[in-house]
Chains A and B, each alone.
Chain A
Amino acid sequence: MSANTSRLKRFGALLGQSLLFLVTSLSTLTVFFIFYFIARDAVPFFKLEGFREFFTSSSWYPTGHPAEFGARAIFFGTGIVTLGAVVVAVPLGVSAAVCLSDVLPFNVRQVVKPVIEILAAIPSVAYGFFALVVFAPLLQNKGGAVLAIGAWLILAPVLALLVVVVSDLTADRFSDLMRHKVRWILILLLGGAALAGMIALGRHLNSIEIISGANALNVAVILGIMALPTVVSVSEDALQATGRELREGSYALGATRAETILKTVIPASISGILAAVILGIMRAIGETMVVWMASGNAARIPEPWYNMLEPVRTLTATIAGDMGEADHVTGSARFHVLFAMALCLLAFSFIMNLVSEGIVRHSRKKLGK
């Protein structure tokens, strides 16, 4: 009797456990569902049109006769916008993370964290609305001034620092008597040169007139801000994970805080920071609403290619924008090409994800955790 009950009990537990496993795997296997259903609708496109045109041509005329599906310019648009976002987000994000983990006292950190959380929580359509309704008109009407102020804000502190350090380092090579004088002369000379350069650059930027505020620069800045929270929180985790021993060892050798961070902490946590950058890239690539609303949606490669003031078009915006017109003709190449784009996005994010997972696991092993 008791053997029977216990068997029943064990059977019940097993059943429950397999049920749990079933639900868990169902929810995780969704990923395969997604891959399968996106690929299923993407394959007909490649069957109809082949690979060559899609990846190499940049004439995108899906409604023309004959229709052309060259997506090179669209891939390029995604690339340039993401690159711009990385340029904005990575330096800012990593220095903010360093500051959060090593510089700021605990109670200041408690205030800064919610700022990051709020930045991450604002819906993408609100960012897109800001880019379209506030930022784009500003760029269009006062574009030159905005660019000049931006350049001043970024370059002035960096150049000032550079001037002082370079003149200090050069002055070190002279004898004690000369050193002080040489240092001041160098600071004045280099500082004057830097200032003149800045003024010239500011004048040049100020004279630029931006034809349309909906352009790659606008989107890149907003995407950079959107990717910031990811970059900051992931790289802060990585910096924290290096532990105190490493830092204390470096301090004991007489290093300043900056030297400790630059020469010890960052090299030790470089893989985590890399993972943060990858996650930031993924956030920027997958973003739809901002680019759809504010990138201008012109499917051509700007002249020259690094001209961020021209409108561009990205993969996500093309999918979102063209599906509305294509979906009543389910089955046409025009419908399936959007799935082909989605498949590219999916494959890219999958690979990036694997890479970042691999990096994190590798670094954990290295740090012995």
Chain B
Amino acid sequence: MRLETRRLLDRAFSGLGVIAIGVMALALIVILTPIIVKGSGAFVFRSTVEHRKVMFDQWDRGNPQRIEADKAAAAEARQPVYDMLSAFDAELKAMPRKERSLYKKPLRELEKALAELLGPVPGEHTPVLIRQQYGATRWDRAKIKLDELLYTEDWDYSNPDALGVLVKTPRVEQFRGTALEPLFAYIKENISAMMRPRWTFYWQFLFDTSKDSHIFGGIGPEVLGTIYLTLGAMIFAIPMGVIAAIYLCEYSREGRVVSFLRICISTLAGVPSIVFGLFGLAFFLNTIHISNSKSVLAGSLTLSLLILPTVIRASEEAILAVPHSYKEAALSLGSGRWHTVMTVILPAALPGILTGTVISMGRAAGETAPIIFTAAVSVGRPLMPLEALSQPTPALPWNIYNLSTEHEAVDEIRHVQFGMVFTLVALVLLLNLFAIVMRARISKKLRG
């Protein structure tokens, strides 16, 4: 091979590696960007007057006078719409029966679309479901609802070779020549006077309970449940893991037993997370009946088994990283082995152990599969600490799954789903960031 070719190959080879790393970074950006951008939309968004009504009615938030003024202004802008509707009603009554029946279905659809945008017609009886008591609470949803109001959507399957094509026709066509004809132009013109959008920072999203299966409100019970599960897992995993690491590093002699224990640990690390979930169900719930139903306790125990190998390994590494001279100095001063471990080695290894446990905390917080059968429910109230022993809880990872696949109005609550994912990812990444910073400080300390 000629030298130039070899050089070219060499450069191309390095290039491939750089491309691979670039792809990895790109993947990270592509995955995190929508989560961060749309997720922060659950906290910071343009709220409509309906949102402020929800906040005032359900959570007693906001200044009553200002809310009243807000509501009055919106109602004033909306009044012409209802006037037009009643004018159309009168017109209908005057029509012959046959013509009237033609308008029946379009009118019903229009009224439904209007209710989704603006809420129920004032003066009529209040619907039972909370979601039907209010219109669109978010400006972005309001614009979608407006679009649904202005246009009817149909799928055109006339071409058998291709997929169906979406056809949008203005709804106004159905009401040509009636009192409702100007309604559509009016709503389009005055939508912002009717909804009064305003930028809002809804930080209470993190702490509020949800109303009407997550259509309103926040993710408080889920956040609390995740914290319970994570802390519970750490309570069991840290003592076990650290003791095991102390034994493996300081007490055991390398031999058959220890290498057997190590194989067990690495096998435990390789067990798929869903199998942990099944084990938790079969052992903690069905065999020793730790609680009557799913509970935070059972979930925490299952999670603690899952992160145990990580905690053991991290603690082992931290203990082994303590300089040998520390230990020798302590032993030469006449302190016993146990005393050395407790007063010299553990304090020196503590930051390292903490780093490892913080990382496994992130893992425990984000795991879904082990808690499906042992701890998680879709809807629930926030638990008191003692109730955690016997009660199941909603938790962020499970509810992300649940809301994005099994909820009856998946598209309506995209912002809640993204908000949950954002919260979970932010929680996990903050824990990891903490660990990364801490590790950098430790390595500086050990080097200097």
Residues of A within 8 A of B (CB): 13, 16-17, 20-21, 23-34, 37-38, 40-41, 91-93, 95-96, 98-100, 103-104, 112, 114-119, 121-130, 132-134, 157, 161, 164-165, 168-169, 172, 209, 211, 225, 228, 232, 256-259, 261-262, 279, 282, 285-289, 292-293, 316, 319-320, 323-324, 327, 330, 338-339, 342, 345-346, 349-350, 352-354, 357
CB neighbours of B263 from chain A (8 A) = 354, 357
In the complex the two chains form, what is the Cα distance from A82 to B31 in whole Å?
Answer: 20
Q: Are A129 and B24 in contact (CB under 8 A)?
A: no
In the complex the two chains form, what is the Cα distance from A257 to B27 in whole Å?
Answer: 28
| New A-B pairs, 13, CB < 8 Å, besides A23-B244, A157-B16, A339-B282 | A20-B247, A24-B247, A29-B264, A34-B268, A37-B287, A41-B278, A100-B21, A112-B25, A121-B428, A122-B32, A125-B421, A132-B404, A330-B286
Q: Are B272 and A285 in contact (CB under 8 A)?
A: yes
CB neighbours of B20 from chain A (8 A) = 91-93, 95-96, 99
| B397 at interface, CB cutoff 8 A | yes
CB distance from A311 to the nearest CB of B (A): 14
CB distance from A34 to the nearest CB of B (A): 5
CB distance from A213 to the nearest CB of B (A): 13
CB distance from A299 to the nearest CB of B (A): 17
In the complex the two chains form, what is the Cα distance from A258 to B6 in whole Å?
Answer: 9
In the complex the two chains form, what is the Cα distance from A33 to B373 in whole Å?
Answer: 18
In the complex the two chains form, what is the Cα distance from A33 to B278 in whole Å?
Answer: 12
CB < 8 Å: which of A30, A38, A324 contacts B268? A30
Query: Do A122 and B31 contact each other (CB < 8 Å), given the known contacts A34-B279, A99-B18?
Result: yes
In the complex the two chains form, what is the Cα distance from A117 to B436 in whole Å?
Answer: 9
CB neighbours of B432 from chain A (8 A) = 117-118, 121
CB < 8 Å: which of A34, A41, A257 contacts B10? A257
CB distance from A39 to the nearest CB of B (A): 10
CB < 8 Å: which of B308, B338, B373, B400 contacts A13? B338
Interface residues of B in 1-52 (CB under 8 A from A): 1-2, 4-10, 12-21, 23-25, 27-28, 31-32, 34-35
CB < 8 Å: which of B31, B363, B369 contacts A127? B31
Q: Are A125 and B17 in contact (CB under 8 A)?
A: no
CB neighbours of B241 from chain A (8 A) = 27
| B265 at interface, CB cutoff 8 A | yes
Q: Are A293 and B401 in contact (CB under 8 A)?
A: yes
Please list 18 pairs of residues, one from A and one from B, whose beta carbons are closer than 8 Å in the complex, sorted by A's number.
A24-B261, A27-B240, A29-B264, A31-B268, A32-B264, A38-B279, A96-B24, A122-B428, A123-B367, A125-B424, A157-B16, A228-B27, A258-B6, A258-B13, A319-B277, A320-B372, A323-B373, A349-B271
Across the interface, name the chain A residue whose C-beta is closest to B305. Answer: A30
In the complex the two chains form, what is the Cα distance from A91 to B254 in whole Å?
Answer: 37
Q: Which of A121, A126, A132, A168 has the most chain B CB atoms inside 10 A of its CB?
A: A126
CB < 8 Å: which of A232, A257, A339, A357 contacts B266? A357
Query: Do A40 and B244 contact each other (CB < 8 Å), given the known contacts A96-B20, A132-B405, A353-B270?
Result: no
CB neighbours of B8 from chain A (8 A) = 164-165, 168
CB neighbours of A316 from chain B (8 A) = 272, 274, 369
CB distance from A325 to the nearest CB of B (A): 12
Q: Are B270 and A349 in contact (CB under 8 A)?
A: yes
CB neighbours of A125 from chain B (8 A) = 366, 368, 397, 400-401, 421, 424
| B417 at interface, CB cutoff 8 A | yes
CB < 8 Å: which of B34, B268, B278, B425 contacts A122? B425
Across the interface, name the chain B residue whose C-beta is closest to A360. Answer: B266
CB neighbours of A118 from chain B (8 A) = 28, 429, 432
Interface residues of B in 236-290 (CB under 8 A from A): 240-241, 243-244, 246-248, 251-252, 261, 263-268, 270-279, 281-283, 286-287
Q: Which of A29, A320, A350 has the most chain B CB atoms inside 10 A of its CB?
A: A320
Q: Are B265 and A28 in contact (CB under 8 A)?
A: yes
Q: Are A115 and B17 in contact (CB under 8 A)?
A: no
Q: Are A129 and B270 in contact (CB under 8 A)?
A: no
| B163 at interface, CB cutoff 8 A | yes
Q: Which of B305, B367, B368 has the most chain A CB atoms inside 10 A of its CB?
A: B368
CB neighbours of A172 from chain B (8 A) = 1-2, 5
CB distance from A106 to the nearest CB of B (A): 13
Across the interface, name the chain A residue whose C-beta is closest to B261. Answer: A28
CB distance from A134 to the nearest CB of B (A): 5
CB distance from B412 to the nearest CB of A (A): 14
